[in-house]
Structure 1
Amino acid sequence: MKSFFKSVLATIVGIILSFFVIVIITFGIMGAWMSSLSDKTVEISDNTVLHISLNYPIEERTNKNNFQSYSFSDMFSENIGLNDILSRIESAKEDDKIKGIYLDMSMMGASFATLQEIRNALIDFKSSGKFILSYSEYYSQGTYYLASTADKVYLNPEGIIDFSGLSSQSVFFKHTLEKLGIEAQIIKVGTYKSAVEPFVLDKMSAANREQVSSFLGSIYSNYLDEIAASRNVPADSLFQIANELKVETAEDAVNYGLVDATKYKDEVLAELRSYLDLDDDDKVKSVSIEKYVVNNPNQSSSSRDRIAVIYAVGNIVSGEGSDQQIGSEKISRAIRTVRKDDKVKAVVLRVNSPGGSALASDVIWREVKLTKEVKPIIVSMGDLAASGGYYISAAADSIFAQPNTITGSIGVFGIIPNMQGFFNDKLGITFDVVKTGEFADLGSINRPLTAQEEAIIQRSVNKIYDTFTKKVADGRDKSQSYIDSIGQGRVWTGSQALEMGLVDKLGGIEDAITAAASKANIEEYKIVTYPAISDPFEALLGNSKDRISQWFLKKELGVAYPVYQQSKEMLEQTGIQARLPYTITIK
């Protein structure tokens, strides 16, 4: 009987597992099929409007592996990355069939530097003389930043615009650790290196509050200045409007000049018809930016010369990493490949990273330095290029950043948890050890560090910081003492970093590509991108368990998911770290 039940149970488990495998394979096949369909060029008619919504998280480049989306319905959406958004807006500018852009945005997942790239592309589009019209029932602060570029900005009569200013909120785990009987043993260099604060404090330190106020103020100042220029409303007035929360209704938004008028959707469509010289009964022809696929002139060039764009996105880790991480082996291999390719005349390293492993950062830094010796390499910073993200950028010929890029954070830290209280008092677990040397169990988490052990680790952290600041000083042609004075873990915006000499110019990835071509003395070239994005079918089968668990966690935790993710990332850190503690979000 026992054997019978074991067989029945094994059969049931086998059926369940088989079902999930079949579902995963089916989704993979359907995703690949949908992807192949989405790659087909849509025929564009004359007098067409480009429709832009972008109501999804914006990644650096289009990722065809949609299994990591927030919902199963999103798996079959045609989300595109920043690279395609920019190239398609540029193409629409030159496309005689595209007469204008209709912005239809409420919420989108993007930080300020990404928004700045898209905003600049929209402003450039307007230089062609074509129109941009924006309408929404709700404008978040991020979407309004883009909408403000439009010739006309409309809001539903019962709609809402969020114009309240920026805030940065940090999560602290000190009391949680105390309740669990866990002590975070901190070894760091840098007065402002605040990545460790969530584990030892219950609020921001004075130094951390100072730097957050500084970089947040810089971002907000740029935000207001750009909107002021587009809406012809003084930046001081905009500050007052937000500070006193004067815009509570759609009528308020009109009265204070944030929008041009309140309209319903049918009235907006009627205005679009007037822009297109259509009769009242004519249908407005439109194409979404996701479906608008045209040939990129840089891709269709007959030139053998190439510019390689290498995407370094995510936390920096040793090894291969993943599509959401900067694996030192994967990125180093990509840099070596383009360095040895005679057809590649210049390299653009696109960095969007809060940092990570100091060792992995140094491995990538070495490849950047070697590449600089044989061909131009330009860094383009995205939303984040801080700590380890700055480390891998420092050796480049020049560095581009957006005014609101978060960078700097030149500092180093290590965290070794002492879980003795947790094991002994909470679980009743004790440990004993036999060792051949005094330091054979250095780094053990079941006891506190001795004073001698702490000194050893502090020396290691000090050495890495010295190496970090020296390599930045060499790359930026500054003295090491100067880099130390603006380092200390201090976070800067791109605008502030330009003043400090940490970056060379303000601009986006297209500016970096243009600069790379100029330095390589080439006019005609093709763009090639590295590393290759994982094949969606292979990636799905390779990590199905992780992707399914990630999907369920996002669905269940909702707005609390970032807190879980931050905690998980910190617990997974190994070795000495050079990373940023902040995740900047726009509501």
Structure 2
Amino acid sequence: MKQFFKFVLATIVGMIAVGVIMLFVVIGIIATATSDKKVTVEDNSILTISLKTNIPERTPNNPLAGLDFLGFEEEKQLGLNDILASIKKAKTDDHIKGIYLTDSYLMAGQATAEEIRNALIDFKKSKKFIIAYSEVYTQGFYYLASVADKVYINPKGIFEFAGMSSQITFFKGALDKLGIEAQIIKVGTYKSAVEPFFLNKMSDANRQQVTSYLGSLYNQFLTGVSTSRKISKDSLYVMANELRVHYPADALKYKLVDGLKYKDEVLDELKKRTDISLSKDLKGVDLAAYAKDSGADETGDKDKDSGNQIAMIYASGEINGGQGDDNTIGSERISAALRKARLNDKVKAVVLRVNSPGGSSLASDVIWREVSLTKKVKPVIVSMGDYAASGGYYISCAADSIFAEPNTVTGSIGIFAILPNMQNFLNNKLGITFDGVKTGKFADLGDVSRPLTPEEHAILQDEINHGYDDFTKAVATGRKKSQEYINSIGQGRVWTGEQALKIGLVDRLGNINDAIASAAKKAKLKDYKLVAYPEQKGFFKGLTNDVETRVKTHMLKSELGDSYQYYSQMKTLQGMIRVPQARLPFVTEKW
């Protein structure tokens, strides 16, 4: 009887789960149908840009975006591809008279901000206006807003202008309390991703490199603001260093903004600029609707008809084996995309868009191999995003040419592995002991219930050394440098795109469109169509797992708050155990 009720209960739970999933499906179908409604852009319209969510490389294929179901709200994210294409289209759209840049937290890296900023600067060549307004200006959003014709802030608002900082979370103290030892095997004086697990503070080498690349990023920030606002870099540095801007009035005093206004006053100015009566509503369209309506790809020309194609391959996120998804780089999925582009006769060139802090060195090598093979039959150009470091650089180095933004974080050529020794924790903290037999001396190599022997440590160190040799050899071949030189600028050291250009790790500073133009030139194409790879997964494919993951993440973030980042880092650590890694350190940068 107990068994019967068990099966009945399991059936009921299963039916409820299926019902919930089907409800999501119905909502998704309705959302998709609704989203197909064409947006009409009236004459004298304003394009409103408000960037409040994370900015992925491509707009996610998510018909539930923007819906709030059972308290789990789906963020409506717009990809960098659609943001850039929309701004480019608006430049020549006679219905659009200007851009209203507002209320943006800019949850994006600095190279992404650079791409959008340059698109706005290009938009201004049309002689159309850009007005920026916000109650709160973070430094990231101000970097975008500074290009506007007029920058306004709420009279009681907040204006951040204090410089940049970089912070690393260290776990050694917690591990010591638990009785867990992180056994480190690495190559690279500057390979600092392992430091949080065996140090309590930054090493001198890591402090040196972080000071260097953070200074380079800050210099790019100051240069951009200086050029746009016509204020000397020295003056800007002093303002930030002495924290002279406490209130909006201070920002106005030092000419960082053009006026203190409430939103209604800004809207009235926009009406005047578009010849709209103050008693009527402002004509406008938001960026998400405009992007959907425009149907533009990265070139801003979706309808170009040509037998020639340039494959745009997106590699975004941490690098691991397997399929991955739109937010992670799976070696199988990206390798398949490269093979598909290589074997497609219509594809005349490949642009590999890399935005990755690295990951598995094995998975990185698998992708590198496909890049190398593709390069033999057609041009391969790499465009680097916020990060293209460690494994992210590994998959880039074989390309014909590499483009980076000045504030791209790259380099970090090094390998490491972490193996925890949990003997003290298990034996003394929990009272758990182990005993067993083995058929070979090294049959239990990597067992976390005991420390490594000196001989075992030497074996693992040899593996890591071998991986580093392969890495530097691949970079040396791709960059046409000696392996000795690559080793001298490697050692795990992190560089910005601006610094990487000087030492030969990248070829040019430029954005994604510069990389596309270079690919077209190298393939001798005047007429071509961009085709995105890999194909984005359908939203309803694997919906059950996706819903489960989203619910779990939502609950953890709600419960842990700001501490979620530490949980996330420890989860990442789990995947790094024993597997050789080529990745950036855990660094939180405030800008």
**Residue 114, structure 1, aligned to residue 118, structure 2:** no
Query: Equivalent of 1:465, from 464, 468, 485?
Result: 468
TM-score normalised by length of structure 1: 0.96
The answer (yes or no) to whether the contact 1:69–1:551 under 8 Å persists in 2 is no
Q: What is the Cα deviation at residue 548 of structure 1? A: 1.9
Mark the CA change 1:371 to 1:233 in structure 2 (over 3 Å): closer, same or farther. same
1:290-301 mapped onto 2 (5 Å cutoff): 290-292=288-290, 293-296=293-296, 297-301=300-304
**Residue 30, structure 1, aligned to residue 27, structure 2:** yes
Residue aligning to 1:338: 341
Q: Select between 284-293 and 73-82 the one with higher mean Cα deviation.
A: 73-82
Residue aligning to 2:375: 372
Mark the CA change 1:266 to 1:547 in structure 2 (over 3 Å): closer, same or farther. closer
Q: What is the Cα deviation at residue 563 of structure 1? A: 1.6
Q: What is the Cα deviation at residue 68 of structure 1? A: 9.3
The secondary structure found in structure 1 opposite 2:568 is helix
> Cα deviations across residues 44-97 of structure 1 (Å, max 9, x unaligned)?
111110000011111111002377999757755542111000000000001011
Q: What is the Cα deviation at residue 21 of structure 1? A: 3.2
Q: What is the Cα deviation at residue 258 of structure 1? A: 0.9
**Residue 429, structure 1, aligned to residue 427, structure 2:** no
1:55-70 mapped onto 2 (5 Å cutoff): 55-65=52-62
d(CA) in 2 for partners of 1:487, 1:67? 44
Residue aligning to 2:267: 269
Q: Counterpart of 2:207 in structure 1: which amino acid? A: R
Q: List alignment gaps of at least 5 residues for structure 1.
A: none
Q: What is the Cα deviation at residue 41 of structure 1? A: 3.2
1:177-216 mapped onto 2 (5 Å cutoff): 177-216=175-214
1:117-516 mapped onto 2 (5 Å cutoff): 117-292=115-290, 293-296=293-296, 297-516=300-519
RMSD: 1.8
Q: What is the Cα deviation at residue 459 of structure 1? A: 0.8
The answer (yes or no) to whether the contact 1:298–1:527 under 8 Å persists in 2 is no
Q: Counterpart of 2:57 in structure 1: which amino acid? A: E
Q: Counterpart of 2:196 in structure 1: which amino acid? A: P
d(CA) in 2 for partners of 1:306, 1:555? 45
Mark the CA change 1:285 to 1:497 in structure 2 (over 3 Å): closer, same or farther. same
Q: Counterpart of 2:585 in structure 1: which amino acid? A: P
Q: Select between 552-561 and 120-129 the one with higher mean Cα deviation.
A: 552-561
d(CA) in 1 for partners of 2:545, 2:244? 52
The answer (yes or no) to whether the contact 1:298–1:524 under 8 Å persists in 2 is no
The answer (yes or no) to whether the contact 1:67–1:547 under 8 Å persists in 2 is no
Q: What is the Cα deviation at residue 27 of structure 1? A: 2.1
The secondary structure found in structure 2 opposite 1:550 is helix
The answer (yes or no) to whether the contact 2:350–2:381 under 8 Å persists in 1 is yes
Mark the CA change 1:197 to 1:521 in structure 2 (over 3 Å): closer, same or farther. same
The secondary structure found in structure 2 opposite 1:536 is coil
d(CA) in 2 for partners of 1:76, 1:469? 42
Q: Select between 543-552 and 410-419 the one with higher mean Cα deviation.
A: 543-552
1:83-94 mapped onto 2 (5 Å cutoff): 83-94=81-92
d(CA) in 2 for partners of 1:170, 1:25? 43
Mark the CA change 1:174 to 1:56 in structure 2 (over 3 Å): closer, same or farther. same
The secondary structure found in structure 2 opposite 1:298 is coil
The answer (yes or no) to whether the contact 1:60–1:83 under 8 Å persists in 2 is yes
The answer (yes or no) to whether the contact 2:403–2:515 under 8 Å persists in 1 is yes
d(CA) in 1 for partners of 2:8, 2:65? 30
The answer (yes or no) to whether the contact 1:35–1:64 under 8 Å persists in 2 is no
Number of residue pairs the alignment of both structures matches: 584
Mark the CA change 1:509 to 1:36 in structure 2 (over 3 Å): closer, same or farther. farther
TM-score normalised by length of structure 2: 0.95
The answer (yes or no) to whether the contact 2:27–2:64 under 8 Å persists in 1 is no
> Cα deviations across residues 136-179 of structure 1 (Å, max 9, x unaligned)?
11111111111111000000111111111111111111011111
Query: Equivalent of 2:523, from 520, 524, 529?
Result: 520
d(CA) in 2 for partners of 1:247, 1:66? 43
**Residue 581, structure 1, aligned to residue 582, structure 2:** no
Q: Select between 294-303 and 527-536 the one with higher mean Cα deviation.
A: 294-303
> Cα deviations across residues 228-263 of structure 1 (Å, max 9, x unaligned)?
111111111111111111111111110011110001
Q: What is the Cα deviation at residue 532 of structure 1? A: 1.5
Mark the CA change 1:119 to 1:71 in structure 2 (over 3 Å): closer, same or farther. farther
d(CA) in 2 for partners of 1:405, 1:29? 41
